[in-house]
Chains A and B, each alone.
Chain A
Amino acid sequence: NAGVTQTPKFQVLKTGQSMTLQCAQDMNHEYMSWYRQDPGMGLRLIHYSVGAGITDQGEVPNGYNVSRSTTEDFPLRLLSAAPSQTSVYFCASSPGGSYTEAFFGQGTRLTVV
């Protein structure tokens, strides 16, 4: 049981480049979400999904796109990377409903130069 798997673990981009951060879970969880972690700012919600085909914006969605074509996968796309997007990104999944734990992936450290 792999849980939540993110790839890549590290990435360096040039300003203006695009890329996709991959996230997959094998726990059949309905809910998936993306967070960014910056020093002194905790974990901030970027986008989330309550099921295949359904996505919604979180606190800091600008500059990011998501899609949820399957229950297992929830990729995060940066269309035109900016230095302000330098951060550690975490994907998380949960079964959904009240009182359910969020399980995190191992994180992707992204640097935009």
Chain B
Amino acid sequence: GENVEQHPSTLSVQEGDSAVIKCTYSDSASNYFPWYKQELGKRPQLIIDIRSNVGEKKDQRIAVTLNKTAKHFSLHITETQPEDSAVYFCAASSSTGNQFYFGTGTSLTVIP
């Protein structure tokens, strides 16, 4: 089955700096890569996603890049704010879309 690895496990940045979280996957058949944000005590919620036929996608301060050849994808958050502090999960979806495989999560702390 699919194996998703995520790094780093914890990340601290100063407010206004950028944050980058990296993930790798093993199954070349995976074709959808969502990112979820989980605030303390809350449910994971989708913040951005990318399909396998796209190399980069941006949404305001958030961007995701995908390198299919190397099987890795990354989340970039620019101009970080304290409300960006949360746990972020990357995931890879099987080609049928019925299974999501998650990374182990990155706890991001933005220091005011």
Contact = CB atoms under 8 A, between A and B. Distances in A.
Contact of B98 (A50, A90, A104, A107): A50
Contacts of A92: 100
Given A31-B97, A40-B9, A98-B31, A104 B102 contact: no
Interface residues of B, number: 27
Given A99-B97, A104-B45, A43 B89 contact: yes
Contacts of A44: 102
Interface residues of A, number: 27
Interface in B42-71: 42-46, 49, 51
Given A42-B89, A106-B43, A100 B99 contact: no
Interface of B: 1, 6, 9, 31-32, 34, 42-46, 49, 51, 89, 91, 93, 95-105
Interface of A: 31, 33, 35, 40-45, 48, 50, 58-59, 90, 92, 94, 96-102, 104-107
Ordered nearest first, which 9 A-B pairs have the shortest CB separation? A42-B104, A43-B102, A104-B43, A42-B102, A98-B97, A97-B97, A99-B32, A101-B46, A50-B98
